[in-house]
Chain A
Amino acid sequence: MSDHVASLRQPSAPADADTLTAEVAGLIVQALNLELSPGEIAPDQPLYGEGLGLDSIDILEIALVVSKQYGVQLRADSEENGRIFGSLRQLVDYITAHRTK
C-alpha cells in the first residue's frame, strides 16, 4: 500500500515515461489494428471522438489490454470527465499511477 502511495507522489523518471508511452501506443495500435505506427500517436492528441477518432468499442478494447498488461481496472467514475482517454499522455499517467504489474 505504501509503495503504491509513493508512486503517486513521485512522477516517473522521464526515460521510464517515454518507454511506457511507446509501449502503450504500441498496445493501442496492435489491439485496434490501426493504420499507423505507434510513434504517430501524438501524446496530447485526443483519443476518443476527435483526434485519433476512437469509439466506445475501441475504449473497451484498450481497457482490456491495459488490464491484462498492467493490472489496472478502469471504472466509469475513475474517468474524471474523460481525462483518462483525453490523450495518450493522460492514459499513460493513469496507468503509471495505478498499475499493479
Chain B
Amino acid sequence: MVAYRGGAPVLVPEFLSDVRHLARSFPPCTHVLNACADRYHFTVGLSAALLSGRVSLFPSSQAPEMLRQLSAFAPDAIWLTDENGSGNGLPCMTYPRERAAASAAAARCQPGAAPQIDESQLLGYVFTSGSTGTPLPYRKTFGRLIGCVHEQARRLGLSGAARWAILATVPPQHMYGLEASVLLPLASGHALCGERPFYPADIAADLERLPRPRALISTPVHLRALLGSGVALPAVDLILCSTAPLSQQLAKEAESRFRTRLLEIYGSTETGQIALRRPTQTAEWRLWPGVSLEPEGESTWARGGHIEQPTRLQDVLERTGTDRFMLHGRVSDLVNIAGKRSSLAYLNHQLNSIPGVEDGAFFHLEEPCDSHTGVARVAACVVAPSLDAARLLAALRERIDAVFLPRPLVFVAQLPRNGTGKLPLATLSSLAAQAKPATTA
C-alpha cells in the first residue's frame, strides 16, 4: 500500500506504473519544480524525477520573484503542477490526467521490481531565504534522506509490522512535510494520503475514513484550530508536530483529547529534522544519531549524521548532554510565522529593493498580538513618499510569501535610526503603536 486517495487505496504496482508513465512524459529538462498540491501526485512526480535522474527543486515560497531567481539558478527548470496555473514564467507541465482504466490496469499487471536508487543520487535542492535576498540552495542526497526518515520511523514507533496511514496538514514541498508525509511512508512501507486538509472539519473527516493505525502530521496552528473548533475528534494513534514552538498546554490538551502520544520534531530547511521529544514528558530534545552541536556566540552550529553541510541554527540551544539539548528561543533575526521561516535581513532586502522605497525596516513587535491561533506577525516601517500601502503591499507580494506581509505597515518621513545607523526596537515599536487607530467599542 503506497497511498490513500479519498479513502481508496493505491497499491505498489499502480504507483510504480504511474511513476514510470510520468518519467517518460517529462519534456527535456534536468530540474523539476514540483508544485503538485495533491500529495500522491507530488510523490509520483518526485519519484519520476528520481527515476529519470532529474533534480527536484523546493523553493521556500512561490512568490514570483523567488521563481525568477530559481530559473536563474536552473534555467531549464520546469513547473510541474496538478492545478490550473501558469507556472509563473517557467515552462509548465501538467500532471498527466488519470489514464483510462483499461490501460492503467494493463500497466499495473506488468511485472517490475521497485527501481533502485543509488544513495548518492541527488534528490534535489531546498532553498532558504538568504540575507542577500538571493535564495540559497542546499543539496539533499537520497541516501541521507532515507537514512534520516528510517530513524524517524524507529523513533515514532512506525518500524514494526503494522501498516500505518499517515495524514498531513503540511505541504509536501517543505522539509518537514517532505520527510514526514512523503519519504517516511515511502521508505517504511506505510500509506501516505493524497489530501492536505485545511479546515478542522476536513481534518477530522479525512482522519475518520482512514484505517487504524493512523497518524496526524501537523503544526501548532492547525492543532490549536482543531482543538478549538468544536469538531468531534476522531481517534488517532500518533500526532507529530513541528515548524514552530508548541506550548506545553496545547501538547497536554492534544494528548488528552486525542488519547494518544504527541511527538515534536525540531529541525530546519538546511539540516532537515535533527531532534525529537515528547513535550508532555520532557522539555529536552534528543538528537538524531551522529549529529553534534557547537555553540558560536548566540547561535549554534549543527553538523554530522545525516546533515549535508555544517549549518548555523537560528535558535538559541543549550546542550544538556552528548545528544540532548534545550531550546531557549530564536536568534533575533529569525522570523517564524505559523511555521514559515524567513529572516529580518532577507525581508529588509526585499523591501528596500522595491522602486520608490527609500528606506525600510521590518521588525518584531515587542508585544505580539494575542489571537486565537497565537500567530504574531512582523511589522515594518517604511519611507516611501511616492507609494501608498496598496502598491507597496502588492510589490511585496511579488517578492515574499504572504504571511510575511507587515502588520502593521507604518509610513514615516524618516526611519528613527540612531547615531550608528541602527534602529532601536523600542522606537520602532512605539511608532507602530501610535499608528493603530482607536478601535470602536
User: Is there contact, CB below 8 Å, between A61 and B371?
Assistant: yes
Q: B228's closest neighbor in chain A, by CB? A: A64
User: Is there contact, CB below 8 Å, between A31 and B371?
Assistant: yes
By a CB distance below 8 angstroms, the chain B residues around A32 are 371
Chain A residues touching B, majority SS? helix
Q: B393's closest neighbor in chain A, by CB? A: A53
A57 interface hit (Cβ, 8 Å): yes
Q: B401's closest neighbor in chain A, by CB? A: A55
Contact with B along A53-94 (1 / 0, CB 8 A): 101110011011101100101111000000000000000000
- When the two chains form the complex, which single residue of A37, A53, A67 contacts B405, counting CB atoms closer than 8 Å? A53
A73 to B375 CA separation, bound complex (whole angstroms): 21
A91 to B293 CA separation, bound complex (whole angstroms): 50
A3 interface hit (Cβ, 8 Å): no
B373 interface hit (Cβ, 8 Å): yes
Count residues of A near B (Cβ-Cβ below 8 Å).
27
- When the two chains form the complex, which single residue of B205, B372, B408 contacts A61, counting CB atoms closer than 8 Å? B372
User: Is there contact, CB below 8 Å, between B372 and A73?
Assistant: no
B282 interface hit (Cβ, 8 Å): no
User: Is there contact, CB below 8 Å, between B230 and A60?
Assistant: no
Q: Report B401 CB to chain A, min CB distance, Å.
A: 9
A55 to B400 CA separation, bound complex (whole angstroms): 13
Within 8 A of A (CB), among B199-231: 199-202, 205, 221-222, 225, 228-231
User: Is there contact, CB below 8 Å, between B371 and A55?
Assistant: no
A33 interface hit (Cβ, 8 Å): yes
One of B118-126, B303-311, B433-441 contacting the partner? B433-441
Other 9 A-B pairs with CB < 8 A, given A64-B228, A73-B229, A73-B230: A31-B371, A60-B198, A60-B199, A60-B222, A63-B225, A64-B372, A65-B372, A73-B201, A75-B205
Interchain residue pairs with CB less than 8 A apart (26): A31-B371, A33-B369, A33-B371, A35-B437, A36-B437, A37-B437, A53-B393, A53-B402, A55-B403, A56-B198, A56-B403, A57-B221, A57-B338, A57-B403, A60-B199, A61-B371, A61-B372, A61-B375, A63-B229, A65-B372, A67-B230, A73-B199, A74-B201, A75-B202, A75-B205, A76-B202
> Lowest 3 A-B CB distances belong to which pairs?
A33-B369, A73-B201, A55-B402
